[in-house]
Each structure stands twice: as structure tokens, then as C-alpha cells.
């Protein structure tokens, strides 16, 4: 498993391609739980960071997601 310092250096950028894109943060640990959500409108960009508490993100709606591994489009 990665150390906290390495984990906290992982970022993604999410650009909404339509109104109402939802980003949901999910926790680490034995039970994965919802802990935070954000809504973006078309054209808005959010830069998100994985932390010792956030292990995954769920994105609903049409958005472009940029990571260190490349880009992907959701909702198509």
C-alpha cells in the first residue's frame, strides 16, 4: 500500500461537459462509504486529490476526467 505522502500527491481534474455533473468521494477502510459530494455545471472544473481518507471517486454525468495516466470521458 502507498504511504500517505504518496497517496496525497495523486490528483485528478474533472471538467463538466453538461450541467449537474456529480462527484462523490468514497472513504478508505474496511467499509467503503460516501463522505462528500460536489455538483458542477457545464464548463466548471474541479481538481480533486486522493487522501488518506478518500480512496475513490464516482462521477455521474458527462465529464472529462484527466489523470496522470491519461484522460477519459464519462456519461457518453
**Predicted confidence (pLDDT) per residue in 42-55, tens digit:** 999 999 988 887 78
Q: What is the pLDDT of residues 5-44, one digit of tens each?
A: 555 568 899 999 999 999 998 887 777 787 889 999 999 9
Q: Which domain holds residue 34?
A: 4-74
Compute CA distances 49 → 14, 35, 61, 76, whole Å.
11, 14, 20, 24
For 15, the grid coordinates are 471538467
How many independent structural domains does the chain possess? 1
For 70, the grid coordinates are 491519461
CATH of the domain at 58: 2.60.40.50
User: Does the pTM exceed 0.75?
Assistant: yes
More confident of the two residues 10 and 1? 10
Amino acid at each position: 500500500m502507498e504511504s500517505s505522502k504518496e497517496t496525497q500527491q495523486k490528483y485528478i481534474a474533472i471538467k463538466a461537459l453538461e450541467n449537474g455533473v456529480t462527484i462523490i468521494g468514497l472513504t478508505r477502510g474496511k467499509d467503503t462509504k460516501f463522505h462528500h459530494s460536489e455538483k458542477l455545471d457545464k464548463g466548471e472544473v474541479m481538481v480533486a486529490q486522493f487522501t488518506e481518507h478518500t480512496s475513490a471517486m464516482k462521477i455521474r454525468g458527462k465529464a472529462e476526467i484527466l489523470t496522470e495516466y491519461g484522460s477519459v470521458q464519462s456519461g457518453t
